[in-house]
């Protein structure tokens, strides 16, 4: 199972999702074979490490984002990844426009896996205050638990 998390810049939300989901999967379902990656729909920060505020907020919860580097979604990602999870509707729409025929059903909103959160999008924290980074972590931790539960149920059903 290959999972790609997607936001705009790949320096705040999707790298957080990549690392948080990897940690949740390792803890909850260590035997599940997963490949996890993240990318952005825009290339403004290509090659850069995650945003310093994102790294610091993540680090306070025990997640290390320092090794990641931003990259842009490529055509081959749509074929390679089984599940492509957008952080918000705008990025989902961008992905839908770029997705080759037959790959659109791989695209979803990540927060579909956290129905109890009461929101469907992870808000862009880039131009906001420090609370935005904590909100991003809360939402991503909730959706990561929901996603691993979904994958476990699915693997038991087959
Ligand atoms: P991300 O946040 O999409 O969660 O990585 C952003 C990063 C950079 C910009 C916007 C959002 N930007 O406009 O440069």
Q: Which domains does the chain have, with CATH numbers?
A: 2-157 (3.40.50.2300)
DSSP characters over 59-101? HHTT---TT----B--HHHHHH-SEEEESSHHHHHHHHHH--T
Cα separation of 2 and 33, whole Å? 9
Binding site membership of 88 for ligand 1 (Cβ less than 6 Å):
no
Q: Is 7 in the pocket of ligand 1 (CB under 6 A)?
A: yes
Residue 14: per-residue pLDDT: 98
The token duo for 24 is 């949740």
Average pLDDT of the chain, as a whole number: 97
The per-residue pLDDT for 129 is 87
**Each residue's pLDDT tens digit, 34-54:** 999 999 999 999 999 999 999
> What is the length of the chain?
158
Query: Which of 11, 121, 123 has the most ligand 1 atoms within 8 A of CB, as the residue to mutate?
Result: 11
Distance (Å, whole) CA 38 – CA 13: 9
């Amino acid at each position: 199972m290959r999972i790609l998390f997607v936001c705009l810049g790949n320096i705040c939300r999707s790298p957080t999702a990549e690392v948080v989901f990897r940690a949740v999967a390792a803890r909850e379902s260590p035997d599940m074979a997963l490949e996890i990656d993240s990318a952005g729909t825009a290339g403004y920060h290509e090659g850069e490490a995650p945003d310093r505020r994102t790294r610091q907020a993540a680090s306070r919860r025990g997640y290390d984002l320092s090794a990641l580097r931003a990259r842009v979604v490529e055509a081959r990602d749509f074929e390679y990844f089984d599940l492509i999870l957008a952080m918000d509707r705008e990025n989902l729409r961008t992905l839908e426009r770029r997705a080759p025929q037959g790959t659109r059903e791989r695209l979803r909103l990540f927060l579909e896996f956290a129905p109890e959160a009461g929101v469907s999008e992870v808000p862009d924290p880039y131009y906001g205050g420090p609370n935005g980074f904590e909100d991003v972590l809360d939402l991503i931790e909730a959706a990561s638990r929901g996603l691993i539960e979904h994958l476990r149920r699915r693997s038991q059903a087959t």
